[in-house]
């Protein structure tokens, strides 16, 4: 039996708790607070932190965390789950990637600044929870009309690189990536996972979400991934549920349209995490005024796997997200029994 203290809040063993961390007062006089859920098991053990919705248009992680909190068996749990299912309540309210009050991208803002912009204050309130945790899973992706499904490893060359790879494998997703970002490294600084890694603790990103109908239960897969990691860190009994084969991708092209217009997907959501050959037509973009085709997007890899895809017809801006792809042919393959 072991009591834990999370940011000054005492949580007894075999206890489910909920509290809030104060941030500031809003212009309308209401109080902004960050919700924190804690499940402390029957026995002491590692502390796993679960976070979602730093981007307000990616709600899938919130639902996955809810399911984990409601289904975890405290009799079996050795350790603690610390969960922040809604890191950015204002961005969630407005269904916006960035915070409407200051236009900041919260996942480029950690560890934040308690006296800074509003989003920096939110980040500064959440960051100290990393001191209390041993491991982190952070959810991203899933805005309307899109779907994404893979594990992103923020490999920073530190002591916990190998641990991060093993943690990512344990999640049980078919595809993982841990290489260079799509742009300059400095443009991706300030994520919560980077902050956790900077503390010398393993962290992975579940790029897992959908804003359209899929042919498989993605929420169930993500919940299973949490339980897999709980088992991997010794906090939960049972065998890991893994696919027969997992791919650690080395090449991950990110494709954005040069031109805006009406986006017509030629590859549907049934192809998420599936393979198409190089040269496959993936999307057509038409000018909404002339109705003429102004751009087409083709699969760039020998074995192009869809990690993220825009799967519904709709308006697209120049430079907007269209596809995150992987080259399966050059991937490191892990065979599971």
Read off the pLDDT of residues 118-144 as tens digits, 9 standing for 90 and up: 999 999 999 999 999 999 999 998 889
285, 263 Cβ separation under 8 angstroms: yes
127 and 226 co-located in one domain: yes
* In a shared domain, residues 207 and 68: yes
Where the chain has pLDDT below 70, the residues are 1, 155-163
Whether residue 314 lies inside any domain: the answer is yes
Say if 203 falls within a structural domain: yes
Domain final residue, candidates 221, 243, 265 = 243
**Do 294 and 219 share a structural domain?**
no
Are residues 73 and 50 located together in one domain of the fold? yes
- CB 260: neighbour CB atoms within 10 A? 17
Residue 237 lies in a domain: yes
Let me know whether 91 and 130 are in one domain.
yes
What per-residue confidence (pLDDT) applies to 157? 43
Helical (H) or strand (E) element with 230 = helix 218-232
Residues 156 and 233 in one domain: yes
**How many Cα atoms occupy the beta-carbon half-sphere of 187 within 13 Å?**
5
Assess whether 201 and 326 both reside in one domain: no
Using the 3D structure, point to which of 217, 243, 269 is the last residue of a domain: 243
Q: Are residues 35 and 144 in the same domain?
A: yes
The count of structural domains within the chain is 2
CATH assignment of the domain containing 91: 3.40.630.10
Q: 3-class SS at 156?
A: coil
* 104-120: pLDDT as tens digits: 999 999 999 999 999 99
Measured CA to CA, the distance from residue 217 to residue 249 in angstroms comes to 23
pLDDT of the residue at 164:
72
For residue 249, is it within any domain? no
Residue 209 lies in a domain: yes
Same domain, 186 and 233: yes
- Give me the pLDDT at residue 188, please: 83
The range of the structural domain enclosing residue 232 comes to 4-243
Beta-ladder partners of 332: 248
Asked if residue 91 and residue 30 are part of one domain, the reply reads yes
pLDDT of residue 162: 59
Asked if residues 326 and 280 have their Cβ atoms less than 8 Å apart, the reply is: no
Last-in-domain residue among 219, 243, 267:
243
In Å, how far are 17, 210, 264, 298 from 278, measured between CA atoms? 51, 25, 19, 7
Task: State the DSSP H helix or E strand holding residue 22, giving kind and residue range, or none if neither.
Answer: strand 15-25
Asked whether residue 248 is domain-assigned, the answer is no
Could you count the other beta carbons within 10 Å of the beta carbon of residue 314? 12
CATH number at residue 306: 2.40.50
- Of the candidates 7, 1, 139, 172, the residue with the CA atom closest to the CA atom of residue 74: 1
Assigned token pair, 264: 């017509």
- Verify that 235 and 269 share a domain, yes or no: no
User: Is residue 313 one of the residues assigned to a domain?
Assistant: yes
The predicted pLDDT at position 65 comes to: 98
Whether residues 171 and 37 fall in one domain: yes
Q: Which DSSP symbol is given to 272?
A: B
pTM listed for this prediction: 0.95
Question: Facing residues of 309 across strands?
Answer: 147, 323
Give the position of tokens 């965390």: 65
By the 10 Å C-beta count (0-12 exposed, 13-18 middle, 19+ buried), 128 is classed as middle
Note the pLDDT of residue 180: 81
């Amino acid at each position: 039996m072991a009591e834990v203290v999370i940011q000054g809040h005492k949580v007894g063993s075999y206890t489910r708790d909920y509290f809030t961390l104060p941030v500031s007062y809003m212009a309308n006089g209401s109080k902004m607070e960050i919700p924190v859920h804690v499940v402390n098991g029957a026995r002491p053990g590692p502390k796993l932190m679960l976070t979602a919705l730093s981007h307000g248009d990616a709600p899938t992680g919130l639902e996955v965390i809810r399911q984990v909190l409601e289904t975890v068996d405290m009799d079996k749990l050795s350790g603690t789950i610390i969960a922040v299912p809604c890191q950015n309540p204002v961005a969630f309210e407005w269904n916006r990637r960035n915070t409407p009050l200051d236009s900041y991208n919260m996942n480029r803002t950690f560890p934040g600044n308690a006296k800074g912009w509003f989003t920096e204050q939110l980040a500064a309130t959440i960051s100290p929870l990393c001191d209390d945790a041993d491991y982190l899973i952070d959810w991203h992706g899933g805005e309307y009309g899109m779907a994404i499904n893979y594990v992103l490893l923020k490999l920073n060359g530190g002591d916990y690189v190998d641990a991060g790879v093993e943690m990512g494998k344990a999640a049980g997703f078919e595809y993982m990536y841990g290489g260079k970002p799509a742009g300059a490294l400095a443009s991706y600084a300030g994520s919560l996972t980077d902050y956790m890694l900077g503390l010398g603790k393993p962290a992975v990103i579940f790029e897992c979400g959908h804003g359209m109908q899929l042919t498989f239960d993605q929420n169930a897969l993500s919940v299973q991934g949490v339980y897999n990691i709980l088992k991997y860190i010794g906090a939960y009994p049972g065998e890991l549920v893994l696919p027969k084969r997992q791919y650690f991708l080395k090449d991950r092209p990110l494709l954005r349209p040069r031109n805006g217009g009406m986006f017509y997907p030629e590859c549907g959501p049934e192809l998420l995490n599936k393979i198409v050959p190089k040269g496959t037509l993936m999307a057509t973009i038409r000018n909404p005024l002339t109705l003429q085709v102004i751009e087409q997007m083709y699969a760039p890899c020998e074995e192009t796997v869809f990690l993220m895809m825009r799967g519904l017809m709709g308006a697209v801006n120049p430079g907007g997200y269209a596809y995150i792809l992987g080259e399966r042919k050059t991937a490191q393959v892990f065979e599971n029994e």
